Amino acid sequence: GGKVLAAYPGGSPDVEQSISRVEGFTATLRDEFGVALYDSPEAVAEASDLVFIETIDGRIHKALFEKVAPYGKPVFIDKPLTVDPGEAEAILDLADRSKIPVMSCSALRYADNFRTALGNSGEGEIAGCDAFGPMHFLPPFEGLYWYGIHTVEMLVAALGAGCRSVRVSETRDHELVACEWGDGRMASIHGLRHLHGQFGITLHRPDGMQFVDIHRNERPYYAGLLEAILRSLPQGRSEIPRDEMLEVVRIIDAANTSRRSNGAVVELT
């Protein structure tokens, strides 16, 4: 139900995966889809009903949001919301003051079989979970702010906010992240550095467990994400609760701190 009408080609010069793709994306949008190109984020916001901040560089998401917020349009911010918990709070505080709905998440949250599994409460509420997925690092982004964010997002989607502590252990090919919630529930992330690139999660309930292979879906999880965006943001609300958006950033920040501290337990504040 939505149509892309306006775009601004940005890009981060110090991130090869960003700057090297801008020209190609720009040409595709302009030449194949007839999207009008503008010379600033502000001009795009003025010309649009809903704004997408799509750069992979979470370091500049706050600055970009501050540019478009005065136009009062709903905003989707691609993961990560930011790479700093303080900046994440600042974005959502500005959104609240400006009465702008903001949504930010990984598309994996909207994989059809994962959504079905989360809604299956026949064997009781989810008491814990174990997720796995690729965990390549990409400087200058620290740790899980790159691919690791997808598995963190699955944990938060399954258990909600309320993580109390995080601890990391790692080897050359693996990273294990142990998370404890304030109510005693526990979850783990098995990050795979150089192995297969598949994502999955096991949900544990009092009367059974369920394994979800994120890649076994008939349609891309991005389709589910786009549906969620269009059924919520234009109606003035976000499907992702504020505390869950902040939780993802806080868990990643705590995991990065634990890694730098040789696996120390890091309490979330």
> What would the pLDDT profile of 93-109 be if each residue is shown by its tens digit?
999 999 999 999 999 99
pLDDT score for 17: 74
Lowest mean pLDDT among 44-48, 112-116, 138-142, 174-178: 138-142
**pLDDT single digits (tens) 17-30:** 778 888 898 999 99
pLDDT of 71 > 80? The answer is: yes
Greatest extent of the chain over all pairs of C-alpha atoms, in Å:
56
pLDDT of 82 > 90? The answer is: yes
Q: Are strands 128-134 and 186-192 parallel, antiparallel or unpaired?
A: parallel
- In degrees, to the nearest 5, what angle opens at C-alpha 64 toward C-alphas 41 and 35? 30
Task: Band the pLDDT of 38: cuts 50, 70, 90.
Answer: very high
pLDDT score for 115: 95
Task: Band the pLDDT of 194: cuts 50, 70, 90.
Answer: confident
pLDDT of 35 > 90? The answer is: yes
- In degrees, to the nearest 5, what angle opens at C-alpha 196 toward C-alphas 252 and 114? 60
pLDDT of 146 > 90? The answer is: no
If one compares 80 and 195, the residue with the highest pLDDT of the two is 80
| Contact (Cβ atoms closer than 8 angstroms) between residue 72 and residue 187 | no
| Contact (Cβ atoms closer than 8 angstroms) between residue 66 and residue 45 | no
pLDDT score for 197: 84
For the chain, give the mean pLDDT.
Answer: 93
| Contact (Cβ atoms closer than 8 angstroms) between residue 264 and residue 169 | no
